[in-house]
Structure 1
């Protein structure tokens, strides 16, 4: 007896050692909130630093870090120069070391973030702030 792999398998969501939390199910619909920051790889986590938030939220403390919760179907790949590139449905291309401007909203807690991605967030990626990434709406 042999088992066939499913057709259209796209491989892993991220390179080995990189955690890419992806939402389960369809994308949520949020208002016009947006966040901007520099995407960095830190301890195997893709974090957003040097944050700027839309007026709907109080600005986080200086040095605050956000773990992005990416849409279902997102994929991270390593470039030839060692940076990470994240391709996510309906979002702009994201590259580590570059600024990223996306829509979405904060989740209220770690438990809510884990429920949204359907798996535990590794201890080294538990930064305290979690942002559900969606397209920017006006």
Structure 2
């Protein structure tokens, strides 16, 4: 299921109901990392490292990293975990703790701004789709 969800997020196609269901019962979060000048390469390397480690965790269903379209110094992480327990284990994991330590002094507030997500009941949740607008050159 993890790979299917990752592929769906990266494909640009509308999200299918099985991918949306992940957000209904599991723990999902978006983290925003605003990189300070001069630290872009180090932070990107740290993100790559924590992503690789997290995707090996059986509790992780999705870990997607991207930047804002108009601001490559802001990294956005989208993560979905199987349960609250899996999310807590991720937070305590050695790779996550090392990642957070590597961010100190390199990003605003010394850590990501994390927002927990929940699925909104009703028609909004079943109609959620990504934009199919082609990327700008």
Q: TM-score range by the shorter chain?
A: under 0.3
What is the TM-score when the length of structure 1 is the normalising length? 0.27
What is the TM-score when the length of structure 2 is the normalising length? 0.27
Q: Which has the higher contact order (CA 8 A, sep 6+)?
A: 2
Hey, which of these two has a bigger chunk of helix by percent? 2
Hey, which of these two has a bigger chunk of strand by percent? 1
